[in-house]
Structure 1
């Protein structure tokens, strides 16, 4: 359960997905029904399934990396919201803060009363906000990040299902190949 300050996050829902099964363009894996027909119909059946397996694993690695970035940004936004709330709830009050002066060098400083903050709003863009505006901007950013997290988690789960399907296909094809080999040896 999120603290009261972050209760709004609990109400964020996964965006509609429509008639698709994933937010990314993830092709759906199909279980091989007739193994004999598939194996004879596709002379490279095993290679094809291995290709799909690698493709799904690459997508999963990218999604995991993206999810980690979203979670990092989400934690930073939550920390920023806490700080802005602290400034709003204690107007005119000075604060002690530890800041980094250079790599590995920190110093305690006195922060004068804060009425305005500068937030990063794009890759190379920063804007100054009054505290109420900053709070609203950060809440919208958090809501967007939670939606991204939900989408990534959905797609990671979907990809895991696809990997499981391909693993079953590979197992069936390998067993089929072994059975054929044993039949040819013993036959």
Structure 2
């Protein structure tokens, strides 16, 4: 749209406020912190809860993505119809077409030239627009849906990265705990 610049996606952040997973470089230092207190089970439990939250968010984003993926073709189709009606509004011949009544049921129709169109807005609301306003509204909705789809795709990628980081951190802490326990058993075995 004129006057609206599309902002580039920031690869390092989420648009839905998804918390960033912390990558643990030094497990010994991480586990010695007061809130971890060298208790690997509690830390792994906390990270598992975070991982489950990421999975829940992923389900939500997948549903939003699916909805947007179905909306965009519908908006494009409506926009194309409005453009066709606009190009033929001064013609004398009616537009001969078929339209969908319900699933798998189509009906032939002759549409006389007109400068008005009715659009479903959702929530059982339909409004009548002139062709210019309808084209503007549909173009704006298409642009917004496309931008939202890009943001959802970006957030899904970001979310997958956070889940992977969390899983890697859980594995590193588990391995740290196994190593620590082995060292404790070895020390206990050395004592006379």
TM-score, length of structure 1 as denominator length? 0.79
Partner of 1:74: 72
Distance 1:25 1:76 in 2: 29
The answer on 1:111 being equivalent to 2:111 is: yes
CA contact (8 A) 2:98 2:106 kept: yes
Task: Classify 1:115/1:15 alpha carbon distance in 2 versus 1 (closer, same or farther; 3 Å).
Answer: same
Alignment of 1:21-36 (within 5 A): 21-36=13-28
CA contact (8 A) 1:12 1:143 kept: no
* RMSD between aligned residues: 2.7
1:65 is aligned, of 63, 66, 83, to 63
Partner of 1:52: 50
Structure 2 stretches lacking a partner, 5+ long: 188-192
Distance 1:149 1:12 in 2: 16
- Listed one character per residue, the Cα deviations across residues 122-149 of structure 1 (whole Å, up to 9, x for unaligned) are 5343211111211111111111112212
Partner of 1:3: none
Partner of 2:6: 13
Distance 1:154 1:98 in 2: 38
Higher Cα Rg, which structure: 2
Number of residue pairs aligned between Structure 1 and Structure 2: 177
Distance 1:142 1:102 in 2: 24
TM-score, length of structure 2 as denominator length? 0.77
Distance 1:100 1:83 in 2: 14
